[in-house]
Structure formats: structure tokens, C-alpha cells
């Protein structure tokens, strides 16, 4: 039993050392779970109150915040290779496409420079550019979304 106590003490020490809030141990047919209670701090104006450990903070009933899907809608057009993305044929030229532009299948939507070669990236489908995901001069990897066509 002393061995088990040593293991429990060791686990508690590790929780402190690594600032863990939870830890679990299973050995010799026993399973022990530790959960550390944080001391919440409540600030009200200029006064700060630290709640006693074990005290409960009463929160008003509020509806949960709805999850927001930040993924742009439409078909993602992904990079066919790793390289540097450019949105125009030259720095002085206008961009190939902007958000809201209507593109046709096969129309160039950007360039990717790989091994000193500029590769045109054609739109695989016709549609409206919903969201551009990369900036000119940005490194893109194979499969990274360049833009979304809706």
C-alpha cells in the first residue's frame, strides 16, 4: 500500500510542477482521478474579490452563444503545388480576380511561382469569387485553399 501512496504523491507533485488541472492514474486494479479546483477571481469595478475555494459563483441564466461557421461558402480552389502565390501578372497590374468577380472555367485566377517558374492557376468552374484566402507573396502548400467560388 505504501507503493500506491508514493505513486499518488508523485502524481500530485507532477500536477503542481506542470500546472495540470486534471490527472488520472490506474494501477493494481485501482483507478484514481484528480481534479484541481481553480480559485475564480471576480472583478467588480475597482474592487477585486477572490472566492474561497469551494464557493460557487452564481451566473445569470443566458442562452449559450451559437457556434459560428467561419468556413467560406462555395467550392474551395486549392493550390496544385507548393510555391509563392501572386494575384497579378506584375506588381503594377490589377489583380486577376477580386472578391465578387464572376469567373469562367479556365480563367486565370492567380500565379504560383515554383522553382523560378510562374504557373497559371485556372478556375476549374465558372462562378463568383466568394472569398480570397491568400495574399500576394504568400507561401502556399499543395492543397491550401486559394479562394472559394460560389
| pLDDT at residue 1 in the model | 59
| pLDDT at residue 50 in the model | 54
Series of mean pLDDT values for 10-residue runs along the chain (150 residues): 73 74 69 65 54 53 57 85 96 95 95 95 94 95 94
Question: What secondary structure, in 3-state letters, does 58-126 show?
Answer: CCCCCCCCCCCCCCCCCEEEECCCCEEEECCCCCCCCCCCCCCCEECCCCEEEEEEECCEEEEEECCCC
In a domain, 60, yes or no: no
Do residue 135 and residue 79 come from a single domain?
A: yes
| pLDDT at residue 56 in the model | 53
Q: Strand, coil or helix: what is 47?
A: strand
Percent helix, strand and coil across the chain, each rounded to 5? 10, 35, 50
| pLDDT at residue 52 in the model | 52
| pLDDT at residue 14 in the model | 75
| pLDDT at residue 44 in the model | 54
If one counts the domains in the chain, the total is 2
| pLDDT at residue 23 in the model | 73
CATH number at residue 97: 2.40.50.100
| pLDDT at residue 46 in the model | 54
In a domain, 80, yes or no: yes
| pLDDT at residue 123 in the model | 93
- How far apart (Å, rounded) are the C-alpha atoms in residues 37 and 94? 58
Q: Can you list the alpha helix ranges (DSSP code H) found in 1-150?
A: 2-17
In a domain, 56, yes or no: no
In a domain, 79, yes or no: yes
Buried b (16+ CB within 10 A) or exposed e, 102-129: ebeeeeebbbbeeeeeeeebebeeebeb
For residue 107, what are the domain limits? Answer: 75-149
Amino acid at each position: 500500500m505504501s507503493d500506491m501512496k508514493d505513486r499518488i504523491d508523485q502524481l500530485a507533485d507532477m500536477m503542481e510542477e506542470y500546472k495540470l488541472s486534471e490527472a488520472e492514474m490506474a494501477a493494481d486494479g485501482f483507478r484514481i482521478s484528480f481534479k484541481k479546483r481553480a480559485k475564480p477571481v471576480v472583478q467588480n469595478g475597482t474592487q477585486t474579490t477572490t472566492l474561497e475555494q469551494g464557493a460557487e459563483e452564481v451566473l445569470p441564466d443566458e442562452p449559450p452563444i451559437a457556434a459560428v461557421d467561419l468556413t467560406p461558402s462555395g467550392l474551395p480552389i486549392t493550390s496544385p503545388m507548393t510555391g509563392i502565390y501572386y494575384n497579378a501578372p506584375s506588381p503594377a497590374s490589377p489583380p486577376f480576380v477580386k472578391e465578387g468577380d464572376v469567373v469562367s472555367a479556365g480563367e486565370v485566377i492567380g500565379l504560383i511561382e515554383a522553382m523560378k517558374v510562374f504557373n497559371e492557376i485556372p478556375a476549374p468552374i465558372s462562378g463568383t469569387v466568394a472569398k480570397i484566402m491568400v495574399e500576394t507573396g504568400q507561401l502556399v502548400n499543395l492543397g491550401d485553399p486559394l479562394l472559394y467560388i460560389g
